[in-house]
Amino acid sequence: MGQLLAKFSLATTLAASLAVPSPAATTTWQIDPAHTAAGFSVKHMMIATVRGQFKGVTGTVNWDDQDLTKSTVDVTIDANTVDTGEPKRDADLKSANFLDVADNPAITFKSTKIERVSAGKMKVTGNLTIRAVTKSVVLNVEGPSGAIKDPYGKTRVALNATTTVNRMDYGVKWNAKLDGGGMVVSDNVDITIDLEMTKKEAKFHEFIRDRWSPRAFSDKEIAPSDLRSLFEAARWAPSSSNEQPWAFIVATRNDQENFTQALQPLVEFNVNWAKNAYALGFAVSQLAFAKNKTPNRNAQYDTGAAMSQLTTEATSRGILVHQMAGFDPDTARDVFEIPAGWDAIAAFAMGYPGDPNSLPQPYRDRETTPRVRKPIREFVMSGKWGHTPDFITK
């Protein structure tokens, strides 16, 4: 029975992706298993309704917004995730009497046809395979909802699909006769799928993906060899005319006098959490070219590139970096005796991650708030301002 509902979930996914408006010629959507369920119901002993669901639904949908018929869906359902709320019944459903998950652990669906019926409604046809038996099924799809951005910056859509299938078509034939006539389990299975999908974004390196700016730091020491490696990474950053117009002022907790001094330029809001980091630092830029003393308009850009490489190297070692604009450059100049022609452009704290619950409010809430990023179509342009390149939308 659960296998039947699985098929619907698959088709539903396809329909959803196809219906979602998008500027892209082809968009890939991924089913979100945590927010997707394929529900089913059957009649028990001709009088009661037994309901269940599958949660192990995964897969992708490739949606062609130029030609709906070219869209495809490929979905797999983990038959072991069948759940009716009754462990003994679930064990029976997983047995050879029904799904036979030992020999057939997965239910698969591949679309063969998609057609729009009316606004907000579609029919999705595809091949559903259960217990090594493949049959064509049709899903009646409503939706999808309008696309939204979740707190993590992902684009999401949702939809609903329904259908009725005959379990006998898939070799799910166990039954027993009732004394007064009729059967213990109905042949027909009603399916309802509530599905969420996320738009698949371009892949990029995990060290960039995992970078973030914490306020909770542990008291674990950063080994001197690791600190040297971070600044070695910064050393190899690109710069205009290879000027390398950066310098770093750094203090660790092992040097308490300098560490306390490094807190002085920070605004109070930052002092309250940065004092727990293992290391504090300031990125400083030389504002003129060393070779001819003319203004270097790229100096801060180049220093930022060096800081970015330091941060990526730190992330690769499990060390987190929080960069700060909240400090007084004049105080930094006085405290560290920064010479004329050089400006402190950013402060930063470094250390291993700590427990967010150790932070007072409002820092704790900020620590646990999901990161949000603008979609790349908002800041990557071509030809003229505001025009999105084709490679972004395809």
Consecutive sets of 10 residues in the chain, 394 residues long: mean pLDDT of each?
Answer: 36 37 65 88 70 87 80 85 89 86 88 88 88 89 82 81 80 62 65 86 82 92 97 97 97 96 97 96 97 96 98 96 97 97 98 93 86 83 92 74
Residue 327 bridge partners (DSSP) = 266
Q: In terms of pTM, does the model score above 0.75?
A: no
Residues 241 and 175 both lie in one domain: no
- H/E stretch holding 104 reads none
Q: How many CB atoms lie within 10 A of CB 28?
A: 15
Supply the Cα-derived Rg of the chain in whole angstroms.
29
Residue 138 bridge partners (DSSP) = 125
Strand order in the sheet with 320-324: 246-252, 279-286, 342-351, 320-324
Nearest to 155 by CA among 29, 36, 26, 10: 29
pLDDT for the residue numbered 7: 35
Those residues with Cβ within 8 angstroms of residue 52's Cβ, 6 or more apart along the chain or in another chain: 1, 2, 39, 40, 41, 82, 83, 84, 85, 90, 93
Burial grade of 298 (CB within 10 A; 0-12, 13-18, 19 or more): middle
Those residues with Cβ within 8 angstroms of residue 350's Cβ, 6 or more apart along the chain or in another chain: 222, 230, 277, 278, 279, 280, 281, 314, 319, 320, 321, 322
**199, 217, 233 — which closes off a domain?**
199
Alpha carbon of residue 7 to chain centroid: 25
Residues 360 and 211 both lie in one domain: yes
Nearest to 231 by CA among 243, 212, 247, 207: 247
Residues 186 and 264 both lie in one domain: no
Residues 55 and 144 both lie in one domain: yes
pLDDT for the residue numbered 310: 98
**Phi then psi for 325, rounded to 5 degrees?**
-95, -15
Residues 36 and 177 both lie in one domain: yes
Residues 102 and 157 both lie in one domain: yes
- H/E stretch holding 43 reads strand 37-44
Instruction: Tell me the CATH number at 79.
Output: 2.40.128.110
Residue type, 73: V
Residues 376 and 269 both lie in one domain: yes
Those residues with Cβ within 8 angstroms of residue 190's Cβ, 6 or more apart along the chain or in another chain: 40, 41, 42, 162, 163, 164
**184, 199, 214 — which closes off a domain?**
199
Nearest to 133 by CA among 98, 91, 81, 162: 98
**168, 199, 230 — which closes off a domain?**
199
Our count of domains for the chain comes to 2
Residues 41 and 131 both lie in one domain: yes
pLDDT for the residue numbered 12: 34
| Domain span including residue 49 | 2-199
Instruction: Tell me the CATH number at 334.
Output: 3.40.109.10
Nearest to 17 by CA among 32, 7, 9, 27: 27
pLDDT for the residue numbered 110: 87
Residue 207 C-beta-side C-alpha neighbours within 13 Å: 13
Residues 217 and 195 both lie in one domain: no
Residues 223 and 186 both lie in one domain: no
Residues 54 and 31 both lie in one domain: yes
Residues 328 and 252 both lie in one domain: yes
Helices (H), the chain: 2-19, 87-94, 206-209, 224-235, 256-263, 268-274, 299-316, 329-336, 363-368, 390-393
